[in-house]
Amino acid sequence: MAEIEKIREIEKKEIPKEKTLERVKKEGEKAEGEERIVECPECGSRQLVHDYERAELVCNECGLVVDEDFIDMGPEWRAFDHDQRMKRSRVGAPMTFTIHDKGLSTMIDWRNRDSYGKSISSKNRAQLYRLRKWQRRIRVSNATERNLAFALSELDRMASALGLPRNIRETSAVVYRKAVTKNLIRGRSIEGVAAAALYAACRQNGVPRTLDEIAEVSRVSRKEIGRTYRFISRELGLKLMPTSPIDYVPRFCSGLSLKGEVQSRAVEILRQAAEKELTSGRGPTGVAAAAIYISSILCGERRTQREVANVAGVTEVTIRNRYKELAEELDIEIIL
């Protein structure tokens, strides 16, 4: 009997535990459901607006307060310009792949001032100089980091020369790091792999640059960049679609100082050409240049074939051949 009573007491103790676990699970599910509010329960609208002053989630259609008292993840301070933001911020720069150590190491500033902004005495400047020198040395500890440091600085130089945005620099750095991890650099020049990674990143982000443009700012030939690009894209499994002529139109129009109307007309011509498969098997830059040449004539902002050829990096003969094909197949009447 005593044993049976003990078993019953143990069961009584276990039941509340199970209930508590069920209650916690339900509360967790409820919390997850609250985070996933995507439509108004009153009118079914998906136009929900966060009011950060009142910490409320409000429906933009009927005005119902869907949620309240949510946590603001931003800083507790306010800043009205860049200087104030930098002074009040308590964190460093975000992590980046464009630096060999991802920006996680420290740097000793070149200015001879302490944390209070006061000038450092001449007695301690020699020591600070030595510290600065050794800090630079220990940031690069082995051959791999030395390789990355050189390659990423080369990538940054080429991207700056081509005027490429930040996201392309980050993508190209990631592609290069993958190539290093898979040991694809062995037997190839660092400059060649870096240039190929930049070319791949441009195509991935829909901001294409030709191999000739990459070769102009790099220290290797066009042939080597093309060969290395094909190798790393095959080894890393980069699925890149063929470049569309439409991607080149905004840049070429900007280089020729043409209006938005000309750009829109050129894009329309290229879409019609793509439907009739006139762009397949032809260089995208030549087709884009021909479409811009036709649209500039149609919109009354004529540019010569030589001007268009210089901006697009193709010959005048290519533009002549392509624009005749487009005009003939699309029934566009051009009065020269």
Residue set of the binding site for Zn(2+): 40, 43, 59, 62
107: left (phi over 0), alpha (psi -120 to 50) or beta: beta
Q: Residue ranges for the binding site?
A: 40, 43, 59, 62
Tokens 């009927």, located at residue: 62
Q: Which helix or strand (DSSP H or E) is residue 49 part of?
A: strand 48-51
Nearest to 302 by CA among 336, 270, 333: 336
Within the chain, where are the H helices? Answer: 2-35, 82-88, 122-139, 143-162, 166-181, 190-204, 211-217, 222-236, 249-255, 260-275, 284-298, 305-312, 316-329
Within 57-205, where are the H helices? Answer: 82-88, 122-139, 143-162, 166-181, 190-204
Measured in whole angstroms, how far is the alpha carbon of residue 251 from the centre of its chain? Answer: 18
Q: Cα separation of 302 and 265, whole Å? A: 13
DSSP letter string, 117-160: SPBPPHHHHHHHHHHHHHHHHHH--SHHHHHHHHHHHHHHHHHH
Quick one: CA torsion of 59, 64, 65, 67, rounded to 10 degrees? -70
Residue type at 48 in one-letter notation: L
For residue 67, which phi and psi values (nearest 5 degrees)?
A: -145, 155
Quick one: CA torsion of 50, 56, 61, 62, rounded to 10 degrees? 180
Q: Cα separation of 179 and 177, whole Å? A: 5
With contact defined as beta carbons under 8 Å apart, do 135 and 141 qualify?
no
